[in-house]
Structure 1
């Protein structure tokens, strides 16, 4: 069993499932802490006794052996009798904790800080944000000023302060100065003697367009240093104040031309260094495709095309681990539950299943998680439309659950965000599940916000827009749409506006006249033209116009009999036949109508089914629609966040009246 140890806060240990281990009393924790401070080296029993007691009692050695025995049982509860311990070992006259670096949060934190020394600002900001999130409080928080702990605690504290400043510096370099200001402001308040923190705060304020505030911060630093320490600011801090006053050019961000030069040089250097190493090129290609997918319609289409080619090339090399990495690296957030390319999605799912079978059992957990999440995401909208037979395992649901379980156990935020995307895609087993999806969205927003996962943070907000629409909470949906737009503007994610434009059309349709609603949906339809999302575009504009007409009591066709209904045509056709006076044909169509797919449009399509069933007097179809809509009785038929047919309760009332 793998055990993880935490000292960035109270001393703790967790098992593979993330459950805390019972470490008994303070002396047990002190032994564990002392061994962690020793960093895998042996600590003699006599030294342990001296460190744990100011005046060791006569039974100190036997007490220590008891503490160690208790700790071993807590850390390795399933160890067979008379087999040597694997973690807390005895060597000579002492003990050592022999665990990998990755299993102690402090050691892992130190490694991340060191490894970002030569990394670019984007990677530095992301990795340090994640690493700083591991801190649960002061290092070794449940211990006082023990002499054996002072140096290690001081070292870790200094390392954390350095990491906070380096993360801020990276954010400023990424043109995210305004985001860096709040953390830096709190940082200088808690640690006012750190001149570099004052410098970074002033620079962040200046680059946020707040020159006066930048000067105020620098003067505050000068006053504090002189009054409290009796020293003048460093030459570097004094020069910065002069440069801010002069608005020196070097304080500004690089121009576009400079950025282009950096890009050209970096890509040329990368190409030259990489040469023809096929495996590395494939993984790098998928990283580029992931970024390309969020740049707009043409980029999204190209990313889909090249992604499939990259996966096929990886599989041809006969390396399942590489194929798993290539498939899993494409963790582009997905919000719409109809696939843009169902055949491509099927091929990706099949390949992922093959690679899962090829990986060695009990290994490559992160790769397995990504493959399972890929299966869940790419299987969107494929749950069976009828009730599954008892005991049937629905693979997409199973894959989503397994991916989320592994991600939570591994504690990898990016992995968990991707897995939760798969969970969202498979949260449509029945109607009325908007509260569950709202919870998924809320977790993705919180997780991504803590760890700098901007694209998944946008996904979380868009999921919450959909869920709050279904829950008739448009004020909250407004806030999440605004938050998604703000992030998209800041990070150049143009496709986000497609969804927020459609949401605002829904809002207009919910609160304004028919003319205003139709104008809003016409604008929303324009946003789809170059979006590169056929799974979203097909039939949606026509269905939106229909929803407006139905809510205002107008004709279902109203001059649009030749409209492109796309995949929604089977549920619209009966209404058009009824209006055309072809009642018998409409009745036959209703009788043969399949259940709608289990996706974001499910409630709305069941409402159309109910409307048609009532119109032709088909009691069996009415009963079926009623059964399916009852779980959503308290919701609005607007879970897509794009189109609404009003409260589900109103449709249920119409069914009850017709069936009375």
Structure 2
């Protein structure tokens, strides 16, 4: 829509849409934004005035031609799923990511909510969608006028908001040229003139800035009349006074307060003071929930902050810094396992130095750090046990479980809601001692949600609801999980917590798989893999494409096609994937050797799914020790769907895999 009406295949090749009337029908249906357009309305819009007698038949011919062009691979007589007949007319059922105007709108919404540096890139991405005027080949037609005006207004606003973001990042010079071109084409934009004057002033060109405001007054006199354009007067007063940051003009009041407060802090607080360490700890905690960039920065600097605190030799100071990072954690594989292990050891050192008689609140925080950061196998200090061996006690896991239990006990005794929320986060991370914990996790998530709601802890309310969403999906209660997803999205929007949307996006792809089947799920998963690839959580995203590719394999009974996995990075899932792919490729002896050495799956949200993968591989080559162990582990999760408790993927009911395992055990019995 953002230019002449056109369509392309996924690989970028243009689709032949045919004659102008065909393109006009497509444009008219796009303007309807998925709503049904009656045939009579199409006739009236395409032939303004008196339509020909054969107009209805012509419209049907145009639609048939468009269907062939838009879905060239659709078998004959199979109904179109894109350009559909519905009731008295037609509708275009296109996804929002397949129409440039809708992508533009969605990207501008993300840009408006992003911090300045990220916003500049998003505004650029949004504006890059434009190839020319809206529906350029249908200028002047009545049916297109409103949408053309609306989208063009959004584009002009996007140009100015991009410039505003550039100013907020300090790139005033970069904003000048674009604003000049923008105002040459649209001289009636008061905000644009204010932004240009501000950019010139911040570039050290005050005289040009004042001349720009003079030209702006002349340009706007016709629009506002004498004495209008009050924003120009405020901008001029600000520039003449030498105030470099506008009080309430484009960059926004909050940014100005931030800049002045940060400068005052640097002037007022001595270097190497404890106050700087405490303030940095609080800043990193808040930074971690702002989005992908903030999370990565917080993770990188947290380790340095802890090291700096430990070098002071002040045990209590170090303990407070280590225990201050109560950022909610929902994914059970660490983004940085090495760094997580270091934090566990630092927290354990601080707790040992404080001793059992140290401040109980501080001790509870340190124990919560141990419990949260020991997720999965991040705290393992020896080689992991093998899946083929009988279960045995693992000292690092026992330490983490005891830390979680004691942290919760101390927090309950102290009646500190924020501390208890942190401790319950640790209890969640240590709730995976065995398979089949979804019901227990739902109870834990419900307690955390109530606690956070009662005491205004929005970050932990999001966490509690995410825990419940995962658990309910694992139990197959999708109606209740849907309600949690809706509540999470509302909370995340209200409190500016964009990372929560990563998990609800994955859940909705899983939900699509459960309700609409595999073809629809394939598209949903492709979208969510692309959208969350750079979310700053490699523990979640690395190897996720392998899990998605395994879904149709594991929900059936067939072996995978190794070629489907050839170009995929298995990431942390390689040890459990390799035996299955070896078995599928005919390398039975290699698969048996791999199964003999493979470690047991991590105690995390995907343990049931990975035990199912091992069971399928073991059944393929008759590896009885792994087959028996997988059967014993999965038995506790018989009421769940394998992997669905992750909120990412589902390999179907665990009972299906148990039956397959029983058949294999019977077939290979001596």
Secondary structure, counterpart of 1:559 in structure 2? helix
Q: Is the 8 A contact 1:338 1:380 kept in 2?
A: yes
Q: Is the 8 A contact 2:554 2:652 kept in 1?
A: no
Q: CA deviation at 1:617?
A: 2.2
TM value normalised by structure 2: 0.58
Q: Size of the alignment, in residue pairs? A: 408
Q: Is the 8 A contact 1:521 1:545 kept in 2?
A: no
Q: C-alpha separation between the residues in 2 aligned to 1:538 and 1:617?
A: 30
Deviations 1:179-215 (A, max 9, x none): xxxxxxxxxxxxxxxxxxxxxxxxxxxxxxxxxxxxx
Per the alignment, residue 238 of structure 1 pairs with none
Pairwise mapping of residues 2-21 of structure 1 onto structure 2 (< 5 A)? Answer: none
Q: Is the 8 A contact 1:556 1:579 kept in 2?
A: yes
Q: CA deviation at 1:593?
A: 2.8
Q: 2:345 aligns with which of 350, 363, 371?
A: 350
Q: 1:449 aligns with which of 435, 449, 453?
A: 453
Q: C-alpha separation between the residues in 1 aligned to 2:391 and 2:564?
A: 38
Q: C-alpha separation between the residues in 1 aligned to 2:613 and 2:346?
A: 37
Q: C-alpha separation between the residues in 1 aligned to 2:393 and 2:369?
A: 25
Per the alignment, residue 373 of structure 1 pairs with 368
Shift of the 392–491 alpha-carbon distance from structure 1 to 2, 3 Å rule, reads closer
Q: Is the 8 A contact 1:561 1:576 kept in 2?
A: no
Q: CA deviation at 1:447?
A: 0.3
Deviations 1:376-405 (A, max 9, x none): 111111276563349998100011011111
Matched, 1:318 2:313: yes
Q: 1:427 aligns with which of 417, 424, 431?
A: 431
Q: C-alpha separation between the residues in 1 aligned to 2:421 and 2:518?
A: 39
Q: Is the 8 A contact 2:323 2:347 kept in 1?
A: no
Q: C-alpha separation between the residues in 1 aligned to 2:445 and 2:396?
A: 28
Shift of the 572–391 alpha-carbon distance from structure 1 to 2, 3 Å rule, reads closer
Q: CA deviation at 1:261?
A: 2.1
Per the alignment, residue 99 of structure 2 pairs with none
Q: 2:485 aligns with which of 470, 478, 481?
A: 481
Deviations 1:264-307 (A, max 9, x none): 23333333332325211001001000111111222111101111
Q: CA deviation at 1:361?
A: 4.3
Pairwise mapping of residues 46-125 of structure 1 onto structure 2 (< 5 A)? Answer: none
Matched, 1:656 2:657: no
Per the alignment, residue 497 of structure 2 pairs with 493
Matched, 1:599 2:595: no
Shift of the 595–360 alpha-carbon distance from structure 1 to 2, 3 Å rule, reads closer
Q: C-alpha separation between the residues in 2 aligned to 1:550 and 1:390?
A: 30
Q: C-alpha separation between the residues in 1 aligned to 2:415 and 2:534?
A: 38
Matched, 1:415 2:419: yes
Q: C-alpha separation between the residues in 1 aligned to 2:328 and 2:496?
A: 15
Q: C-alpha separation between the residues in 2 aligned to 1:643 and 1:392?
A: 29
Secondary structure, counterpart of 2:327 in structure 1? coil
Per the alignment, residue 90 of structure 1 pairs with none
Deviations 1:40-61 (A, max 9, x none): xxxxxxxxxxxxxxxxxxxxxx
Secondary structure, counterpart of 1:532 in structure 2? coil
Per the alignment, residue 614 of structure 2 pairs with 609
Q: C-alpha separation between the residues in 1 aligned to 2:407 and 2:468?
A: 22
Secondary structure, counterpart of 2:344 in structure 1? helix
Per the alignment, residue 472 of structure 2 pairs with 468
Q: C-alpha separation between the residues in 2 aligned to 1:554 and 1:566?
A: 23
Per the alignment, residue 640 of structure 2 pairs with 635
Q: C-alpha separation between the residues in 2 aligned to 1:285 and 1:391?
A: 34
Q: C-alpha separation between the residues in 1 aligned to 2:542 and 2:415?
A: 39
Q: 1:401 aligns with which of 402, 405, 409?
A: 405
Q: C-alpha separation between the residues in 2 aligned to 1:443 and 1:272?
A: 44
Secondary structure, counterpart of 1:324 in structure 2? helix
Deviations 1:348-398 (A, max 9, x none): 111111111212542311111100000011111127656334999810001
Q: 1:514 aligns with which of 513, 518, 521?
A: 518
Q: C-alpha separation between the residues in 2 aligned to 1:441 and 1:575?
A: 34
Q: Is the 8 A contact 1:324 1:367 kept in 2?
A: yes
Matched, 1:458 2:462: yes
Per the alignment, residue 527 of structure 1 pairs with 531
Deviations 1:611-656 (A, max 9, x none): 1122222233221111011111111111111011011011111112
Q: CA deviation at 1:548?
A: 2.9
Q: CA deviation at 1:493?
A: 0.8
Shift of the 268–565 alpha-carbon distance from structure 1 to 2, 3 Å rule, reads same
Q: Is the 8 A contact 2:318 2:350 kept in 1?
A: yes
Per the alignment, residue 302 of structure 1 pairs with 297
Shift of the 390–484 alpha-carbon distance from structure 1 to 2, 3 Å rule, reads closer
Q: C-alpha separation between the residues in 1 aligned to 2:303 and 2:343?
A: 7
Matched, 1:574 2:579: yes
Shift of the 390–262 alpha-carbon distance from structure 1 to 2, 3 Å rule, reads closer
Q: C-alpha separation between the residues in 2 aligned to 1:628 and 1:581?
A: 27
Per the alignment, residue 560 of structure 2 pairs with 556
Query: How well do the aligned residues superpose, as a CA RMSD in angstroms?
Result: 2.1
Secondary structure, counterpart of 1:639 in structure 2? helix
Q: CA deviation at 1:583?
A: 2.4
Q: 2:359 aligns with which of 346, 361, 364?
A: 364
Q: C-alpha separation between the residues in 2 aligned to 1:393 and 1:514?
A: 37
Q: Is the 8 A contact 2:580 2:617 kept in 1?
A: yes
Per the alignment, residue 259 of structure 2 pairs with 264
Q: C-alpha separation between the residues in 2 aligned to 1:476 and 1:390?
A: 35
Q: Is the 8 A contact 1:282 1:310 kept in 2?
A: yes
Pairwise mapping of residues 28-43 of structure 1 onto structure 2 (< 5 A)? Answer: none
Q: 2:650 aligns with which of 644, 649, 658?
A: 644
Q: Is the 8 A contact 1:444 1:457 kept in 2?
A: yes
Q: CA deviation at 1:579?
A: 2.4
Q: Is the 8 A contact 1:356 1:368 kept in 2?
A: yes
Q: CA deviation at 1:552?
A: 5.4
Secondary structure, counterpart of 2:252 in structure 1? helix
Q: CA deviation at 1:592?
A: 3.1
Per the alignment, residue 537 of structure 1 pairs with 541
